[in-house]
C-alpha cells in the first residue's frame, strides 16, 4: 500500500500568497478554533506576552500579524497604545478591537525608524518569508531601549510530552479545524512548524539583529515559546 506524502511546504513569494489565502479563508472562525484547540490556554499565553514587555503605561506597541486583534485587546487592557499590522484582509475584517489596524506586510512596515516603544507578534514567525528580514525590520521600527515579545509554537523537550504533543498537533488539530472551519488550512498549520529553526538559532538571529539580551521562555510544558528581548 502506498502512503500519502504531505505536499512540500511553499517557499518565497509562493509562501506569502499561500499564507494570505489561508488566513483569509479561516478568519471567520479563527478565534473559536483557537479557544477550542488550545483549551483556552492561548488567552493566558497572550497575557504573559504583554506582561513581558514591561514598558511604561501609554507606550506605543506594534502588534505584528495582529489577526483578529487578540493581542491588541490585551495591550489595551495593560495600558498600552497598540497598532496592529496584518497582510490578510480577511483577518482584519474579522478583527474585534478598537486599536488602529493597518493592512501591510510585517517585513516592510509603513512606519518611520524607531517609531515604536515595543512590538509583539503571536504565532506568526513560521509564516513569514524571511525571519532575518522580520528581525531586521523589528530592529528598525523599535526604538533603542524598546522591548519585543514574540509568541510562537514549540515542541516539548520531555519525550512523553513530545509524543503526545505530536499526536495532538498533527492529528487532532486538523480534525478540530475541519469540524469548525477548514481542514486543509488546519492540516497546513501544524506542518508549518517545520519552517521554525531551533530556539537557539532563533535567539542567535535576534541577537545579531540588535537584540543582544534575547531570551526564550517556555510555556505550558514547552508547547509554546516566548522570545523576549530589548533593542540596543
Using an 8 Å Cβ cutoff, are 161 and 222 in contact?
A: yes
Q: Is residue 1 part of a domain?
A: no
Block residue for cell numbers 496592529: 84
pLDDT score recorded for residue 106: 98
Q: Is residue 91 part of a domain?
A: yes
Q: Is residue 3 part of a domain?
A: no
Q: Is residue 96 part of a domain?
A: yes
pLDDT score recorded for residue 6: 54
Q: Is residue 205 part of a domain?
A: yes
Closest Cα partner for 209 from 186, 224, 230? 230
Q: Is residue 34 part of a domain?
A: yes
The CATH number of the domain where 81 resides is what?
3.40.50.150
Q: Which domain holds residue 220?
A: 12-230
Q: Is residue 63 part of a domain?
A: yes
pLDDT score recorded for residue 8: 80
> Would you tell me how many other CB atoms lie within 10 Å of the CB of residue 16?
17
What's the pLDDT tens digit per position in 44-76? 999 999 999 999 999 999 999 999 999 999 999
Q: Is residue 43 part of a domain?
A: yes
Residues of the chain with pLDDT under 50: 1-4
pLDDT score recorded for residue 7: 65
pLDDT score recorded for residue 185: 87
pLDDT score recorded for residue 206: 98
What's the pLDDT tens digit per position in 197-210? 999 999 999 999 99
Which ranges of the chain would DSSP assign to H, the alpha helix? 12-26, 30-37, 41-53, 70-77, 89-93, 131-141, 159-167, 173-180, 183-191, 199-208
Question: How many domains does the chain contain in total?
Answer: 1
Amino acid at each position: 500500500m502506498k502512503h500519502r506524502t504531505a505536499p512540500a511546504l511553499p517557499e518565497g513569494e509562493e509562501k506569502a500568497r499561500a499564507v494570505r489565502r489561508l488566513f483569509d479563508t479561516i478568519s471567520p472562525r479563527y478565534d473559536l478554533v483557537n479557544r477550542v484547540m488550545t483549551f483556552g490556554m492561548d488567552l493566558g499565553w497572550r497575557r504573559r506576552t504583554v506582561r513581558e514587555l514591561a514598558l511604561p503605561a501609554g507606550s506605543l506597541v506594534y502588534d505584528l500579524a495582529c489577526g483578529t486583534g487578540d493581542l491588541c485587546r490585551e495591550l489595551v487592557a495593560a495600558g498600552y497604545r497598540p497598532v496592529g499590522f496584518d497582510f490578510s484582509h480577511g483577518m482584519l475584517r474579522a478583527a474585534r478591537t478598537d486599536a488602529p489596524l493597518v493592512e501591510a506586510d510585517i517585513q516592510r512596515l509603513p512606519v518611520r525608524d524607531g517609531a515604536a516603544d515595543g512590538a509583539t507578534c503571536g504565532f506568526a514567525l513560521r509564516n513569514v518569508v524571511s525571519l532575518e528580514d522580520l528581525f531586521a525590520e523589528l530592529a528598525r521600527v523599535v526604538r533603542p531601549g524598546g522591548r519585543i515579545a514574540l509568541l510562537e509554537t514549540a515542541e516539548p523537550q520531555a519525550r512523553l510530552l513530545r509524543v503526545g504533543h505530536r499526536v495532538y498537533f498533527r492529528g487532532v488539530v486538523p480534525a478540530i479545524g475541519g469540524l469548525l472551519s477548514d481542514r486543509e488550512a488546519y492540516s497546513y498549520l501544524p506542518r508549518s512548524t517545520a519552517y521554525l529553526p531551533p530556539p537557539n538559532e532563533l535567539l542567535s538571529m535576534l541577537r545579531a539583529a540588535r537584540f543582544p539580551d534575547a531570551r526564550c521562555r517556555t510555556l505550558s510544558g514547552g508547547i509554546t515559546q516566548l522570545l523576549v528581548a530589548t533593542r540596543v
